[in-house]
Structure 1
């Protein structure tokens, strides 16, 4: 932080101390989190520089990670952060997530649960509510598209097989993969997760659409029903290897156990 009054604008600082000029000269690694944020904010308040506002923002959010899981309204509660600046920050964060997400475009063949984890973890890791997604595949297990089936609360997402397979039938999918996040960070499946998965597998069998896997994404780790042997029949791709994924590693495989089939409705609990 420059030895200037905190209310002085960055434009009045010596050029060697201005965050943007330092980034150009030394690279982003040389800057603190507050200085990088100040470049996005551009200006502060009449009594505080953009760096000072950035420091206050980070203090309120308990670090830069808090930017990822706060909404626009929460960001705007910090003096000096209005809707426009909050939108700039959220846009930058989401662009970063998209850069981290490995490309899985239409026509890409899915080879493992770890590959899916690499792609979806940056998109799901910071969500504060459950999101249930389906990945639609053709007969060669190449991606047709993915879709969000349901968005729920902190611990609950309601999914009905009819909604899932209506989409699969419309897109002429031969197979599907399900995935959802647990905001708690613990990817271990609940009894409701297992029950719902069994119902989805059974519905897919009736329609001739194979369920290749169901991934539950937690904090830096995940559980794959296919890798654990919890799906009946062949999953369609080999179990994920052991190397760590972004921010964590695969959960150890446990003894094989079939999921019990049930006709009861199945909410997801995280």
Structure 2
């Protein structure tokens, strides 16, 4: 914790072992607070504000480090002190972090379990601030053909219409699909609307000879699989 009397002083005037960059190099990044890590990433503050204070202000504005790194360029640009270069830097770091923890499945690789689905898209979708509904198109051996985004916004029957879901299924000659969407609240518990939409899509799939294998709801660090939970 930085003493209160030092908070408005330039970080350059602090003892070396208290400066975020020097502290990171000497002790490791795990010993820095979120605000200190942001101070290393964005090393200058502003008028009467040092980099750590700027980091705290950003965390307060966005609510958490995850939310900050998942924010859109437009949202970041509205934050005081973030010009185009800093916005681009924060977006790039967020994307690097998501790619590092996410094991995206390459086309034609099999998706056999809900855990594999979560590894494929969990980190990316958990960071979204709006709901997105995706369909994973699979061939007859459950190998991924394509990951298709169907809609963005609150999940409703009007946004997730069978026509929008099954057009790419027909175009790609998919034999089966897995439904995936996120809950920005962080709680992946399926809603009544989630269950109703899933049942509707399953019935259409049955008529078309296309298996709806699962519906995976992504939350904050966890997920719910309809197949695993026996909701189907």
Bin of the TM-score, shorter chain as denominator length:
0.7 to 0.9
Which residue in the other structure is 1:128 paired with? 129
Q: Aligned equivalents of 2:190 and 2:14: distance in 1?
A: 54
Which residue in the other structure is 1:250 paired with? none
Q: Aligned equivalents of 1:55 and 1:191: distance in 2?
A: 38
Q: Aligned equivalents of 1:183 and 1:4: distance in 2?
A: 37
- Whether the aligned pair in 2 keeps the contact of 1:177 and 1:211 (CA below 8 Å) is yes
> Which consecutive unaligned segments of at least 5 residues does structure 1 have?
232-270
Which residue in the other structure is 1:256 paired with? none
TM-score for both structures, normalised by structure 1 = 0.72
Give the direction of change, closer, same or farther, for the CA distance of 1:207–1:84 in structure 2 (3 Å limit). Answer: same
Which residue in the other structure is 1:6 paired with? 8
Q: Aligned equivalents of 1:91 and 1:14: distance in 2?
A: 31
- Whether the aligned pair in 2 keeps the contact of 1:215 and 1:223 (CA below 8 Å) is yes
> SS of 2:93's equivalent?
helix
Give the direction of change, closer, same or farther, for the CA distance of 1:192–1:108 in structure 2 (3 Å limit). Answer: same
Q: Can you list the C-alpha shifts for 1:196-230, whole angstroms capped at 9, x where unaligned?
A: 22332232233332211112223444332222334
Give the direction of change, closer, same or farther, for the CA distance of 1:207–1:66 in structure 2 (3 Å limit). Answer: closer
Structure number with greater CO (CA < 8 Å, separation at least 6) is 1
* 1:118 is the counterpart of 2:119: yes
> SS of 2:81's equivalent?
coil
Which of the pair is proportionally richer in helix? 2
Q: Can you list the C-alpha shifts for 1:26-75, whole angstroms capped at 9, x where unaligned?
A: 22112221111011112221432222211222233444344145444444
Q: Aligned equivalents of 2:222 and 2:215: distance in 1?
A: 14
> SS of 1:91's equivalent?
helix
Give the direction of change, closer, same or farther, for the CA distance of 1:225–1:90 in structure 2 (3 Å limit). Answer: same
Q: Aligned equivalents of 2:61 and 2:192: distance in 1?
A: 37
The CA deviation at 1:176 is 0.8
Which residue in the other structure is 1:37 paired with? 38
- Whether the aligned pair in 2 keeps the contact of 1:135 and 1:177 (CA below 8 Å) is yes
Give the direction of change, closer, same or farther, for the CA distance of 1:33–1:189 in structure 2 (3 Å limit). Answer: closer
Q: Aligned equivalents of 1:195 and 1:53: distance in 2?
A: 45
Q: Aligned equivalents of 2:65 and 2:54: distance in 1?
A: 13
Q: Aligned equivalents of 2:63 and 2:186: distance in 1?
A: 18
> Which consecutive unaligned segments of at least 5 residues does structure 2 have?
none
Return 136-145 or 222-231, whichever deviates more.
222-231
> SS of 1:108's equivalent?
coil
Which residue in the other structure is 1:227 paired with? 228
- Whether the aligned pair in 2 keeps the contact of 1:38 and 1:50 (CA below 8 Å) is yes
Q: Aligned equivalents of 1:228 and 1:53: distance in 2?
A: 44
Which residue in the other structure is 1:105 paired with? 106
TM-score for both structures, normalised by structure 2 = 0.83
Which residue in the other structure is 1:251 paired with? none
Q: Aligned equivalents of 1:135 and 1:147: distance in 2?
A: 6
